Amino acid sequence: MKRTIAAIAFLLLSTAAQAGIVMGGTRVVYQEGKREAAISVTNADTHSPYLVQSWVENYTENNKSRVPFIVTPPLFRLDPEQQNVLRINYIGGTLPTDRESVFWLNVKSIAPTKQDEVNKLQVNIKSKFKIFYRPNGLAGEPDDAWRKLTFNIEGSRLVAQNPTPYFVSFFVISVGGTDIPQPGMIGPFDHKAWPITHSGVVKWRAINDFGGITDYAQQ
């Protein structure tokens, strides 16, 4: 219960710190062949403008290959109660054709500093959103991928197998009624393991393309 209250408090503080910068989604799906993918950015603040900077980077830091996406506009001023759209364009590259690929969209909002407040800290908030590049012709449906997962208990580990070409982002996984902290995401045709202290029924929920939460599945 204490952890829940602390998490809620942190979320409220983080939201307040963003001072009204609101994104129009929690993830972006870029379908192969489309001209672009887009996500809106809104300044819900009634008084202050913000400078918004955005860029795409590889999902893992050790991946030094060229990022095959650009964002326009990469830097702009967003006035109070105004909205703009980030347009993500694919500029070409060698990506797998038999599975999804994932990247990070970074969005930094920079709060203004008034001339009479030069000694105050300027607040910069950087948020990260997943971009899923989805090739055409993949087997199955992305909305069903989370149902296709299989779980096995191997000693003191819970091991998940993903037989689909899609990423599955977990909202929750529980074993015998105990939640696994920060279950993360499992990649296409991949496996992922978590330490556990006991066995039991495995239940899970996932996050869909629109940022919504699926029903429970269990095994």
pLDDT at position 114 is: 66
pLDDT at position 111 is: 85
In whole angstroms, what is the distance from residue 32 CA to residue 170 CA? 24
Domains of the chain, by residue range, sit at 2-134, 142-218
In whole angstroms, what is the distance from residue 212 CA to residue 219 CA? 22
SS3 content of the chain, % helix, strand, coil (to 5): 10, 45, 45
Q: How many residues does the chain have?
A: 219
Cβ atoms of residues 39 and 25 within 8 Å: yes
In this structure, how many other beta carbons lie within 10 angstroms of the beta carbon of residue 149?
A: 22
Residues contacting residue 51 through CB under 8 Å, at least 6 positions apart: 75, 76, 77, 78, 109, 110, 112
What stretches in the chain show pLDDT beneath 50?
Answer: 1-18
Q: What is the pTM of this model?
A: 0.86
How would you classify the pairing of strands 202-207 and 168-175? Answer: antiparallel
Same fold, 2-134 and 142-218: yes
CATH among 3.10.520.10, 1.20.1250.20, 2.60.40.10, 3.30.930.10 for 142-218: 2.60.40.10
| Four-residue CA torsion sign, 154, 160, 128, 67 | positive
Cβ atoms of residues 158 and 190 within 8 Å: no
Q: What is the pLDDT of residues 90-142, one digit of tens each?
A: 999 899 999 999 999 999 999 877 666 555 556 688 999 999 999 999 999 99
In whole angstroms, what is the distance from residue 141 CA to residue 118 CA? 54
3-state SS, one letter per residue, for 55-109: EEEECCCCCCCCCCEEEECCEEEECCCCEEEEEEEECCCCCCCCCCEEEEEEEEE
pLDDT at position 155 is: 94
pLDDT at position 121 is: 54
CATH architecture of 2-134: Sandwich (2.60)
